[in-house]
Structure 1
């Protein structure tokens, strides 16, 4: 009986640990970060119309053009994509998964897409590494701009 009780306790601890890990992973990876370009002292209101309940299908609206600041960008964590507007009317999209260790990038600060895990930085115009430890650029993602809508291609 002592051995069965000991194994039963292990099973309870293992399942509680796995459930807690799943909850922590879900909490860390959800939501849409709407950090945008700005200078010190300015506050940026959240600027995103991305749906909160999952990734849009190809062709579905991701954001409005007005949601993406000129010289900055917006991270859509649920969709794992970051959309930037390096110059007025020029929209780019990149994978939001950092090429260093696979973290989802956290923000766009000035002209850099920033990964919060190890502070890698990528250019908003081309996804190129501007500060390591990442060594590879963020892969480009296909988007379409129709009117004021930005859609995943």
Structure 2
């Protein structure tokens, strides 16, 4: 796929309530299914190195498994301490059974 869109997962891999870890183009991502939409964020907590895909989804937020910092899945905004820095978010699209993520602008 051109224009920075890369296949990240099959749609069946991204289940409501469970973050899905993947890596594309050297970028560690976490994918989420919320309200029938797929979202992608960095999979690395901005506070300390921990995989957000090992955390818990609570509403529209992912909670880091290391120090319980929470991030908005839709925007990447840091919601609670100890995280003070937002995490990256990425555009997603679904074509058929494939989830694509746009890594570059």
Tell me the TM-score normalised to structure 2 length: 0.69
Is the contact between residue 75 and residue 107 of structure 1 (CA under 8 Å) also seen in structure 2? no
> How far apart in 2 are the matches of 1:103 and 1:67?
20
Is the contact between residue 73 and residue 124 of structure 1 (CA under 8 Å) also seen in structure 2? no
Which has the larger helix fraction? 1
Is the contact between residue 68 and residue 83 of structure 1 (CA under 8 Å) also seen in structure 2? no
1:116 aligned residue: 65
Does residue 80 of structure 2 align to residue 131 of structure 1?
yes
Q: Secondary structure at the match of 1:126?
A: coil
Deviation for aligned residue 1:65 = 5.1
CA deviations over 1:57-103 (Å, ceiling 9, x no partner): x623413157331xx34230x52211123322x22110011111232
Residue ranges of structure 1 left out of the alignment (5+ in a row)? 1-57
2:51 aligned residue: 104
Task: Choose the corresponding residue for 2:20, options 50, 58, 75.
Answer: 75
CA RMSD of aligned residues (A): 2.2
> How far apart in 2 are the matches of 1:117 and 1:138?
15
Is the contact between residue 74 and residue 89 of structure 2 (CA under 8 Å) also seen in structure 1? no
> How far apart in 1 are the matches of 2:97 and 2:56?
21
Which has the larger strand fraction? 2
Larger radius of gyration: 1
Q: Which has the higher contact order (CA 8 A, sep 6+)?
A: 2
Runs ≥4 in structure 1, deviation > 3 angstroms? none
Is the contact between residue 56 and residue 64 of structure 2 (CA under 8 Å) also seen in structure 1? no
Deviation for aligned residue 1:107 = 2.2
Does residue 96 of structure 2 align to residue 147 of structure 1?
yes
The count of residues paired between Structure 1 and Structure 2 equals 92
> How far apart in 2 are the matches of 1:92 and 1:67?
10
